[in-house]
Amino acid sequence: MIYFDHAATTRVLPEAAQAAMKTMTEDYGNPSSLYQLGVQAAKRMGEHREQVARALGCQGEEVYFTSGGTEGDNWAVALAVHLGRHKGRHIITTAIEHAAVLQPCKELERQGYEVTYLHPDASGRVRVEDLEAALRPDTVLVSMMLVNNETGALQPVAQAAQLLRRKQSAALLHTDAVQGFLKIPFTPKGLGVDLLTISGHKIGAMKGSGALYLRKGLRAVPLVRGGGQERGLRSGTEATPQIAALAAAASLGRERMEEHTAALTDLKAYALETFQRGVPGLAVVSPGDAPHICAISLPGYPSQVVVRWLSDRGFCVSSGSACHRGKASHVYAAMHLSKGVRDGVLRISFGPENTRQEVDQLAQALLEATRDLVPARG
């Protein structure tokens, strides 16, 4: 199989797998236990937290381990509205967020909150001017993803933070940085955010791992109550193997980020040129600002059909977020693409192991798909 769906998930790095295995078979103590094996596990947890914090560019005390991006996003939204409960009931987010943000917002609407959804332009980017027009005195949360998971488009998070400061808004700013972490350079402080979400399985760690950055000084409330783990905010025995793998992957990603970013940027540019030159009728929906994601379309050829056709020939690509499970993408709908282009969108996302030869093979397969498949009518 030739894998071009790294935005969906990544292969676990050998170093991350080794870290998890060592934790499961040697350093397997419960970090809350008082005997030596438990004390050692707690020490390792502290080391892992500092590794993730260094990769993020923040303090260890600002990092809270989670089960992944969905939990982190849910927690951030819930925490922000709780902290702002005496200030207002208005939320601003974008129409192109991951479902892990959109669904909690929709639930809050059912509870009486008002949510403004900012729509992107044709490039897939939201405008700070639209955020400024939507901002109100009773806005308690602005949630804007850093890199869109279906287009690779970079969103103006830092500019949003500057706007909130200029307007002296009480709203907290959250960003889902799952697709940006270790792909583009940033720090939470540099972005100016209060809350930030990352996920382990997008960077070569295990599924079921992630972290939420909580700016120092926020008066957080517990997500899960119980034994008081994660400094009382997320109770439950820590998933130490997943955390060890996350720390290992984050450290390696930090070391290799410059090299990988340059390689991915070059490969994506080559791929877009090759696709456009070699596949008549192919449209570039988004070249992507992030180095690893782009969106193309074969207008007239339904993406789900093309994805299955490519799969039968050994290629892994997607028609959008894996979380859609075959349903129409809300991201491409929000971009107001024509029906033919929208129905034919394919997301191509690259990893460090991909090669130009594989790109050439995919381009040839796309060309053959347009010859073998019958285009849809209308």
User: For the chain, how far is it from start to end, CA to CA, in angstroms?
Assistant: 33
- CA dist 57 and 47 (Å) reads 15
Element (H, E) at 179: none
Residue-wise pLDDT tens for the chain (378 aa)?
999 999 999 999 999 999 999 999 999 999 999 999 999 999 999 999 999 999 999 999 999 999 999 999 999 999 999 999 999 999 999 999 999 999 999 999 999 999 999 999 999 999 999 999 999 999 999 999 999 999 999 999 999 999 999 999 999 999 999 999 999 999 999 999 999 999 999 999 999 999 999 999 998 989 999 999 999 999 999 999 999 999 999 999 999 999 999 999 999 999 999 999 999 999 999 999 999 999 999 999 999 999 999 999 999 999 965 455 556 789 999 999 999 999 999 999 999 999 999 999 999 999 999 999 988 865
- CA dist 132 and 196 (Å) reads 21
Q: What are the DSSP E strand ranges found in 86-194?
A: 90-94, 114-118, 139-143, 172-176
Q: For 11-98, where are the alpha helices, taking DSSP H only?
A: 14-25, 36-56, 69-83
- Residue 358 CA: distances (Å) to CA of 190, 260, 372: 36, 17, 21
Q: Which one of the listed residues 58, 105, 294, 323 is annotated catalytic?
A: 323
Whole-number pLDDT of residue 328: 76
- Residues 6 or more apart whose Cβ sits within 8 Å of residue 212: 63, 64, 66, 71, 72, 75, 76, 195, 196, 197
- CA dist 122 and 331 (Å) reads 11
Token code pair at residue 129: 């001017």
- Residues 6 or more apart whose Cβ sits within 8 Å of residue 308: none
- Could you report the per-residue pLDDT of 128-159, keeping only the tens digit for each? 999 999 999 999 999 999 999 999 999 999 99
Whole-number pLDDT of residue 321: 54
Whole-structure pTM value: 0.96
Are 73 and 100 spatial neighbours (Cβ–Cβ below 8 Å)? yes
* 66: nearest Cα among 201, 209, 178: 209
Angle at 330 between CA 325 and CA 333, to 5 degrees: 130
Residue 323 falls in the annotated catalytic set: yes
- CA dist 93 and 148 (Å) reads 13
